[in-house]
Amino acid sequence: MLRRRELIALASGVAAWPLVSHAQVADRKRRVGALIGYAEGDPETKVRLAAFEQGLQKRGWASRTNVQIDYRFAGGSESLFQRFAKELIALDPDVILTHTTPAAAAVQRESRTVPIVFVNVSDPIGAGFIASLAKPGANLTGMLHVEAGIVGKWLAMLREIAPGLSRAALVANPKTTPYDYSLNAAQHAAPSFGIELVPRQRTSKARLRRWRAYPTAG
């Protein structure tokens, strides 16, 4: 889920778009496409998009005045991702915001020229979106959801909290794109802390809520 950091990044990322020069504001009405991975009615999605539009306004871009924002909400549906990606490209936008890896992949398949800004993507290099973090290349750029090195810091924190820690559970949904990325990073870092990693797969929010992060020793 996007939190305050990602929301700020979402807004500040707009500064890299060709839209932002104030000299261009009076030029013509710009068009932004947005392919969102979650459902339109999701409460947190509403909060995030409100922050996104506020970020645009701070840079001189107001919805329905000098910028048109076309939203599409896929709700996690693979078929809707591709359908909406086609629809957004057909609108000839100046830039497209994509939220989640499937959204970015769907739009990338439809265009190699329209600028694409992605958020909530865990492994843009592994997904084939960019060549490197320093030089993305092509027509995609954006924000990492979680940098792989942070996983080692999580384990270090657990070891600091519980010095006798020997086993730790990694609870995650294997159907989500961050799963393999996070699991691989954790498995790589765990031996350096003398920790045995125990993956625990959960595929629903209800089942995930029954689990909590309790380190185990011995």
Q: Distance of CA 196 to CAs 46, 69, 184, 186, 214, Å?
A: 39, 48, 13, 10, 14
- Which span out of 6-10, 51-55, 63-67 was modeled with the highest average pLDDT? 51-55
Alpha helices for 111-148 (secondary structure H): none
pLDDT at position 204: 54
Q: What is the mean pLDDT of residues 191-205?
A: 77
Listed by start position, the domains of the chain span 4-144, 149-217
Q: Bigger pLDDT: 164 or 36?
A: 36
- Cα(202)–Cα(186) distance, integer angstroms: 17
* Length reported for the chain: 218
Cβ–Cβ under 8 Å, residues 19 and 94: yes
Q: Which CATH number fits domain 4-144: 3.40.30.10, 3.40.50.2300, 3.30.460.10, 3.40.50.300?
A: 3.40.50.2300
Residue of 101, 100, 74 whose CA lies nearest to 85: 74
- Cα(162)–Cα(31) distance, integer angstroms: 52
- Phi/psi of residue 118, each to 5°? -105, 150
75 pLDDT above the threshold of 80: yes
- What tokens does 145 get? 């959801």
- Cα(49)–Cα(9) distance, integer angstroms: 13
24 pLDDT above the threshold of 60: no
Cβ–Cβ under 8 Å, residues 129 and 118: yes
Enter the pTM of the model: 0.70
pLDDT at position 104: 95
Question: Is the CA virtual torsion 209, 39, 74, 7 positive or negative?
Answer: negative
- What tokens does 146 get? 């979680």
Reduced to 3 states (helix: H, G, I; strand: E, B; else coil), residue 125 is coil
- What tokens does 118 get? 């992605």
pLDDT at position 71: 97
What one-letter code names the amino acid at 19? L
